[in-house]
Structure 1
């Protein structure tokens, strides 16, 4: 079986983009539902390119917009999540340039 390489999500980290652009996505939304129900802080420590940004983007989509883009995925088909939305604050620290400490606060405020 040949895989169309244009469907591979190279450099895509946004769950919404996966859905909108028809990219290949390994459905782990059952685990996303489990993590979302966990009643304690979660520390995500993984090496670069291990899916942390994609996971956070998936949470952002789920909490901000509900189940609209999750149709056909386990979180919907297995009825693992009640469709409700929340206000989300998303801080993307990857957008901040590496700069001297004195400028970090200003760069954070501006972004």
Structure 2
């Protein structure tokens, strides 16, 4: 059973999830798919459904590469490669 003290209440930064080993539902395979789009897209989701966390995940991926994604699908399934 997961440690419920690790529930990320009011946490929206992907870096905070990674740094504090908080519970995180791994959807990085979908992040990799969305990151390949060349055209703009509109994110429409209800309040409190993770828009800020999703944008923070994109920021972390593009700013710092795969450093904080170890153990997640985007790395384990080799879905993304950093380009120098």
Query: 5+ unaligned residues in a row in structure 1: which ranges?
Result: 86-111
Aligned to 1:11: 10
**TM-score scaled by structure 1?**
0.72
Q: How far apart are the structure 2 equivalents of 1:31 and 1:55? A: 10
Map residues 53-92 of structure 1 onto 2, 5 A cutoff.
53-84=52-83
Query: 5+ unaligned residues in a row in structure 2: which ranges?
Result: none
Q: RMSD over aligned Cα, in angstroms?
A: 1.2
Deviation at 1:84, TM superposition (A): 3.2
Structure 1 stretches of 4+ with a deviation exceeding 6 A read none
Give aligned pairs, total: 84
**TM-score scaled by structure 2?**
0.94
Deviation at 1:5, TM superposition (A): 2.0
1:61-93 CA-partner distances (Å, limit 9, x unpaired)? 0000000000111101111111137xxxxxxxx
Map residues 32-111 of structure 1 onto 2, 5 A cutoff.
32-84=31-83
